[in-house]
A and B are shown apart, each in its own frame.
Chain A
Amino acid sequence: MRFVLKDDFLKKLREISKNYKVFVPVKKDYFHLFQELKDDILPDFSFFNTKLSPKSILFPQSERMFEYSLDKDDPDAYILKEAKKDFSPQIIVGIRPCDAHAFQIVKQNFDTPEYKDPWWTKRYSLTTFIGLACNSPRSSCFCLKVGGGPFSEKGLDAIMYDLGEGFLIKDITDKGRDFLDKIGGDEAKKEHLEKAEKLKKEAEEKIKVDLKIEDLLKRPVLSVFESDIWNSVSFPCITCGICTFLCPTCWCFDIQDEVYGKRGDRIRNWDSCMFPIFTLHASGYNPRGEKFRRVRQRFMHKLKYYPERYKKGIQCSGCGRCIMYCPTNMDIRRIINMLAEEKRNESISSLSCKD
């Protein structure tokens, strides 16, 4: 455990950024975003959480897969080649425990024994996650209830505690120890550790919401699917996709070919199950054409299909971004409790296939 004063920390970070790509939270207008640390960028570690999650550092919103050119002057003409990528080691400093936990959830999908997403896994292996524990969670945060916590260490290589005048940094993995060696700092003193303990208790007490996730996980899948609440709960949704784009655990993407002039690219973009044409078949049939089916699908995937398949809790890290930025206030906590408390005759429903 080391203790570093904030000014020294920033100085050391700038030195590190000469050899590594360092991503830090930066204040823009009234919110924060992760950006690469350059000379003219000033990090700001006093923030609740960034608006866009850092998932775009491993999984960019638009990414080129392949390219080709038909230009006779090009030596590589008529060859379909994999796009050149920049795989340099990177460090994300100041990631919140909910976002780090989210990367572990996404890893279930992108790094399986049968299939590995080549770019996500490569970037993941080159990234060091230095977390920043939350001293004051927001009212929309509920990380503690989904297997994480404001001071949780899941998915992190090292974690920093903000003690006011400096950071107390604890290393968790070898990568974390490397980072700590580069930062330097002094040995942590007893009062630092005690202050960190106190902050942890205060933060965890702030997350008061009562989420009945265990009850929901016990319900049979088909019973939740056929619940009567979906029609009324899905009314406000405008299927915009903001929740899926800001969510650190959402992972769907769409692959498109773009041809312009003599060149062509195959690009993958973030896609959203909320978009009307997400499930449009080539025949013209759309199984999820109606809004309530798409809304139901999103919550079923997060709350039932993912836990049933991977047995690691729900596909949510409790960051609360979907609650804060949803323009029609669709609240996942409300839906979890409504589903958990719903009284249904579960023995009959497993036989019917209404939808």
Chain B
Amino acid sequence: MEWKPKIVAFLCNWCSYGAADLAGVSRLQYPPYFRIIRVPCSSRVDTRFIIQAFRNGADAVWVSGCHPGDCHYIEGNMYARRRFVLLKRLLEFIGIEPERIFFSWISSAEGTKFAETAKLIAEKVKKLGPSDFFVKRRAEVP
């Protein structure tokens, strides 16, 4: 069976989730590898969520929120912006390929952008292959 990537997508309820919805309603095609999790705001996405996604076998993680300045909660995505930049660089530092973590700003009217980004991400992840470094497996204990 051909390997299909498992990509976990955290989408903010007010903007990016709406964009995904719009893409669906507009019948825009994008690969079916995405497991979408709706969060109220992109800043709800804690470091632990992304780490747990990788531990559970996700091949890539995608977090998407409102454009800076347009957050439904005024400034949530501004805090998230700093956190995600640092986390992405840290995970790159420990050896997880940078093409496994994606952050984007997609507003709820940008259905096409959502589909295009999804296609782009799926392509990049397919090239990398399954994730095997940070996956929680049977503990190597006696």
Contact = CB atoms under 8 A, between A and B. Distances in A.
Answer yes or no: A and B touching, Cβ < 8 Å.
yes
B27 interface: no
Contacts of B138: 263, 265
A63 interface: yes
B60 to A, nearest CB: 18
B139 A267 contact: yes
Contacts, number: 24
A265 B136 CA distance: 12
A62 B56 CA distance: 21
A260 B137 contact: yes
A60 interface: yes
A257 to B, nearest CB: 12
Contact of B141 (A63, A260, A261, A263): A63
Nearest to B55: A260
A62 B139 contact: yes
A64 B55 CA distance: 20
Contacts of A267: 139, 141
A86 interface: yes
Interface in B93-142: 136-139, 141-142
B5 interface: no
A64 B137 CA distance: 13
Interface in B71-104: none
Given A260-B136, A260-B137, A86 B142 contact: yes
A63 B142 contact: yes
Interface string A252-263: 000000101101
A68 to B, nearest CB: 12
Interface string A235-262: 0000000000000000000000010110
Q: Which of B55, B138, B142 has the most CB of A within 10 A?
A: B142
Interface of B: 55-57, 136-139, 141-142
Given A62-B141, A63-B141, A261-B56, 7 more contacts: A62-B139, A62-B142, A258-B139, A260-B55, A260-B136, A263-B138, A267-B141
